[in-house]
Chains A and B, each alone.
Chain A
Amino acid sequence: MPSIDYRDAVGGALLVAVGAAFAIYSWTHYPLGTVSRMGAGMVPFSLGVILSIFGGMVAMASLSREGSFTDIRVATPLIVLGSVVLFALAIIPFGFLPAAFLVTLVAAFADLSFRPIRNIVLATVLSAAAYLIFAIGLQLPIPLFAWPF
């Protein structure tokens, strides 16, 4: 058994790092100004410091109790996030329908049950529904198909 709460120890340390990054970047890139005439960097700098302090508290509190990570999955989040990124990359060069088809098809594999035919059918039905809702119903001016070459 771990003797400290690793989840909060790592999480708190990450918060300290993020806070420090914000503070240092504001300090070096933007004018801080004075308290009565604050520059653009003053508020982000102070908030970065405060974030680090809270992060430190989270990490400190974790040292006095036990705990462990819950299991972290890699494939499911990557597939879901990847499908959204694919949509972002496809929407302008290829148009609405291919992008909608792609995001559904890829996302459907995220439950790790390999069923390509079911997923293709699902993607077809859902992109047809999206066409009815967004293109016909809401009349969004998005090109349905495009060809980048």
Chain B
Amino acid sequence: MFPDMTAEPWLILAARSFAKHRLEAVLIGNAAAALQGSPVTTLDLDFMFRKTPLNLTKLKRVADDLGAVVLKPYYPASGLFRLVRDRDGLQFDFMSKVDGIRSYQSLRSRAAAVRFGRATLLVATLEDIIKSKRAANRPQDRAVLPVLRRTLDEKVRLEG
């Protein structure tokens, strides 16, 4: 049997746990692009957050709550914190710096709140995701950019 491709259980878990521990983060990357209507796929959920001592404590509490651990897989200055749970491959990446995004506050001010279960997740706009992928300019970013741009064109057309 093939594994289920729906991210809904992970999104509900994230929304519930962030709300419980009052951790504020904005969903970015391909997961956010998919929620904004782009036909793209991903292996994990990426979030941008503010790296403060309080948020790092909250992140640890979220990890404990989910039965996961927080890893810092790259050099300390990278600002990446990876929350992983071995038993089902759950992986949430938290970044304090994102290519093409000037500040967390500006990203947050444009993000949409999407309800999953009883809580909501902040989801970056397609414009911000495109900006970020263009700035990152890795092969995987260049590969999805035409699809993201096409989705944005369709959204603009629909919204008149």
- Do A and B associate with each other? no
